[in-house]
Structure 1
Amino acid sequence: MQCLNQLLSTNYQHFGLAPPNTWQYYSSTLKSSTARRRIKISNSCDPSSGHCQLIDNDKLGGRWMDFQGIKNWDGLLDPLDNDLREEILRYGEFVEAAYSCFDFDTSSSTYATCRYPKDTMLTQCGLGQSGYKVIKNLHATCAVQMPRWIDRFPKMVSPRSSWIGYVAVCDDVDEIARLGRRDVVIAYRGTATCSEWLENLRATLTCLPDDMAPENSEPMVQSGFLSMYTSKIEGNRSLQDTILQEIASILSNYSDETLSITLTGHSLGAALATLTAYDITTKFNHLPMVTVLSFGGPRVGNKSFRYQLDKNGTKVLRIVNSDDPITKVPGFVIDDDDMASDATLTRLPSWLEKCMEDTQWVYAEVGKELKLSSKDSPHHISKGNVATCHDLKTYLHLVNNFVSSSCPFRATAKKVVKRESRERKAALGIIECALCKAADEDVDHLFFKCPYSKNLWTKLLGWQGVHRQALGWNAELAWAGKFVTGKNARTMVYRMVLASCVYFIWQERNNRIFQDSARPHEVLCKMIVQEIHFRSARFSKLAGWGMSNLSGGSICLYTNPLAFN
């Protein structure tokens, strides 16, 4: 569309109109996510245009395998499919429940245990209507021994074995129908005790035990994670033994049903979820679909570990905050598949790569990555605060608001989508009227067939003593050419009113497009009358004119209103 100056170039100069030269784009700029389920901004991507589009898709049951990663989430992450977003947030709530159930009070006799019984656990955490029931509590044991001097600091003392998460099964008929299968969730919390922190620091890679490593393969994982998964003490089975027994029972109990196993966790819990998925897909044949949803997880194993995960059919979606340093440790990555696609990187010589791998510090990223960033949040999540960037609530906030890499945040998504829609229409010479949203914009519509501008101009005509409805632009020019002639006071006022009306209508149009702000036409009417009042003071012919009242939002006529024939 042409600029306003070009649109009004015909027969307007003799009225003294000086429309503004606009067409400048406006540059647009950690809340709780408890209401996220109520917000429904769906996205899709038009490959031919690269733009975001709004779609509506609630067919979860028919697409559940896509959301569980059967196609590696191709086409679902950028832009983020809204149903997938809801699933990620739903599983994130199970991880939140694992944190809520854990007793963090070091002075309590129940420190490092679950605060609630299995039957009421999810209800106590706000998930009583989730359709799931907890069938097993999970405990992890740390192999590291705390130093004796730690006894002098009671708040740092921690048991070797602590509650780490739970297994839950969907048992609600309606929820099973909605999901399209019976879902099994294994949820892990993140690091909470001093013993677990010490395990985290054991960052070198170690070989998996024989019962977890296939023949002719050398998968290696982080020493501390493996220790927590396999260690046991008298009276406490290992996390591994508990998981394997529970999975065997689930497969037996629901052998005739469509199942899925979803493992999810945050931080340390994300690493344990990945390791658990590897173990059960190695130990069991003919498993249902196994998926890992990892929130802020550190690296777990080497390239051989990743290869076995992929070979076993395990699907891993890593939700990563690029400002979270935990996702970039331990060790370092070389010749990663994602990195190798970057033409700016060159492959290391094989002998050097081998030497580096022998150091037991070379890890590999696993699965598919959903990359988010705290910097994209308009809520000013601190970029320098590691704890905030790593917090699970931050991750859920980012997931809830992420749209796509081209319009990263939901708070601005509607504006971006609307703007891009306008740009596509503009390329075709079609622009929707920003004032009424009911018709395409052109000169005749904007001045004055649009209900908004028509009401404004009709009111201003009445204020001048012209008792008729507003006409289209060309008709208004023709009427003025016939009745508004000469250089008397009424002609001067009429020209000033028309020029001001055009200016303020165009200004209002741009405010609505670029600043997402709107004013009723009555406000503009009052502003125009004030403008005419101040401008008339400069002309001797209008010196006797004035306004009797401008209060209360009403507009009163001049004491000597114009009277056109």
Structure 2
Amino acid sequence: MDFVDQGDHMTPTLSPKQSISAVWKEIHGSSNWETLLDPLHSNLRREILKYGEFVQATYDAFDFDPLSEFCGSCRYNRRKLFETLGLTKHGYKVRKYIYALSHVDVPDWLKRSCATWSKDSNWMGYVAVSRKEESQRIGRRDIMVAWRGTVSPSEWFKDLTTSLEHIDSTNVKVQEGFLSVYKSKDELTRFNKLSASEQVMQEVIKLVNFYRGKGEEVSLTVTGHSLGGALALLNAYEAATVIPDLFVSVISFGAPRVGNIAFKEKLNELGVKTLRVVVKQDIVPKLPGLMNKMLNKFHGLTGKLNWVYRHVGTQLKLDSFTSPYLKHESDLSGSHNLELYLHLIDGFLSKKSKYRWNARRDLALITITHLNTDDPKKTEHSLALDGAMERLHLILP
């Protein structure tokens, strides 16, 4: 009976939307989330889901139809993005769209002709800022940057074969392809006369100066999924380097490794707080450098090698097998799906606990291929699954 829907009064849709103004720095990693992940604090769960939905918007709004003349662009005007996608509840306003050059290996559906919207650039995300009411709830003016990832995880095997490259004059190195997406520009293009890096940093610096000038406390939260998680780290690194005394945090989903040990140490030195959400069955967080797991066992010998990739920050590890609603099988593409990540976060209590019985994130948000509908027996989950299937039939052909 725990799984029978008796209304929102019994099991709220999300964790309580409480004021976190007194503890926002702890929620964003000032103590590296030492006491908040196991068990997962309800306030932290809500914030992770909030930023995850901001990232999901980059997929929902992205036009990747190869037959569309606007392929590679955003489907919606920035002033209508949150309203169209139902995200006004979070209390943020979009301030700027970000575009990046695609002078790296891209999937076939992004190889467009000159007659399309842009043969060079792709919409990669946006900058938003918290409105007054939300700023009061979260205790500061939050500037948020959301980065889009790749559509198919199978692309990683082809795209992550390039080497590490210096990001500055030090020993700090990052993956060449990620840096190319973040830094490339071309005066002859329409949308990338400035690089993605220059576009986002111009807007962030402007917003920081404006709100600090009004006497407000300001933070920067950078978030992304997959490739977007890698770009989020590069963005956070640059922001923390350029803007003094700015509280910078990263919440990434299914992000790959980005740089070497010097990159990791420099981020720690800059005070960037990173919460890295991964799913056990997802292969992308294990890339690039499939040999890294073995090399890490010999950290005393390899710890300072500049060619070894290193993960950054604190990890929140999820297991898709804990959800009673999902198929219990290893699935490369399914395990990397962002909505699956958000489903697992909503149901996560602790490493030793079962899936949260009163999790209420709509199952219709997960594609039908991920749901466990094979068992003919009526289990305690069947009523919830039946309801989800009814909703799925309304939105899927």
TM range (shorter): 0.7 to 0.9
2:392 — aligned with what? none
By how many angstroms is 1:89 displaced? 0.3
For residue 180 of structure 2, what is the aligned residue in structure 1?
Answer: 227
Matched, 1:304 2:304: no
2:203 maps to a residue whose letter is E
* 2:287 paired with 1:329: yes
Whether the 8 Å contact between 2:256 and 2:286 is mirrored in structure 1 is: yes
Q: Which has the higher helix share?
A: 1
Query: How far has the Cα of 1:59 moved from its partner?
Result: 4.1
Q: Equivalent residue of 2:35, what SS?
A: coil
Please state how far the C-alpha of 1:91 moved relative to its aligned partner.
0.6
Equivalents in 1 of 2:152, 2:294: separation in Å? 35
Q: What is the distance in 1 between the residues matched to 2:70 and 2:14?
A: 41
Aligned ranges 1:141-220 → 2 under 5 Å: 141-144=101-104, 156-157=111-112, 159-171=119-131, 173-192=132-151, 200-210=159-169, 217-220=170-173
Structure 2 match to 1:400: 346
Offset at residue 63 of structure 1 (A): 1.2
Q: For residues 354-405 of structure 1, give each alpha carbon's deviation from its aligned partner in whole angstroms, at most 9, with x where no partner exists.
A: 7xx46x3x11110000011111111233532111100000100010000001
Counterpart of 1:166 in structure 2: which amino acid? Y
* 8 Å contact from structure 2 (residues 254, 277) kept in 1: yes
Contact 1:295 1:392 survives alignment (8 Å):
yes
When the two chains are superposed, the root-mean-square deviation of aligned CA atoms in Å is 3.0
| Structure 1: unaligned runs, 5 residues or longer | 1-33, 42-55, 211-216, 340-344, 414-514, 517-565
Q: One-letter code of the match for 2:270?
A: N
Aligned to 1:461: none
* Larger-Rg structure: 1
Q: In the aligned structure 1, how far is the partner of 2:11 from the partner of 2:99?
A: 31
* TM alignment of 1:272-421, pairs within 5 A: 272-287=231-246, 289-331=247-289, 332-333=291-292, 345=297, 347=299, 349=301, 357=305, 360=307, 362-411=308-357
**1:268 paired to 2:221:** no
Would you say the 8 A contact 2:279–2:320 is kept in 1?
yes
Secondary structure (helix, strand or coil) at the match of 2:80 reads helix
More relative contact order in 1 or in 2 (CA 8 Å, sep 6+)? 2
What stretches of structure 2 of length at least 5 have no aligned partner? 1-7, 114-118, 360-378, 381-397
Structure 1 length-normalised TM: 0.56
Q: Aligned residue for 1:440? A: none
Identity of aligned residues (%): 39
Shift of 1:123: 0.6
Deviation of the 1:346 alpha carbon: 5.2
Distance change in 2, residues 1:281/1:380 (3 Å): same
Deviation at 1:36, TM superposition (A): 12
Q: CA deviation at 1:62?
A: 1.5
Query: In the alignment, is the contact (CA less than 8 A) between 1:140 and 1:164 conserved in 2?
Result: yes
Checking the alignment, whether the CA contact within 8 Å between 1:37 and 1:86 is kept in structure 2 is no
* Aligned equivalents of 2:85, 2:18: Cα separation in 1: 26
- Cα separation, 1, equivalents of 2:86 and 2:264: 36
**Shift of the alpha carbon at 1:71?**
0.8
Decide whether aligned partners of structure 1 residues 347 and 280 sit closer, same or farther in structure 2, where only a CA change above 3 A counts: closer
Report runs of 4+ in structure 1 exceeding 4 Å deviation.
Answer: 34-37, 153-156, 196-199, 345-348
Aligned partners of 2:255 and 2:284 also within 8 Å: yes
Aligned to 1:67: 27
Q: Pairwise mapping of residues 525-544 of structure 1 onto structure 2 (< 5 A)?
A: none
Query: Is 1:125 paired with 2:85?
Result: yes
TM-score, scaled to structure 2: 0.78
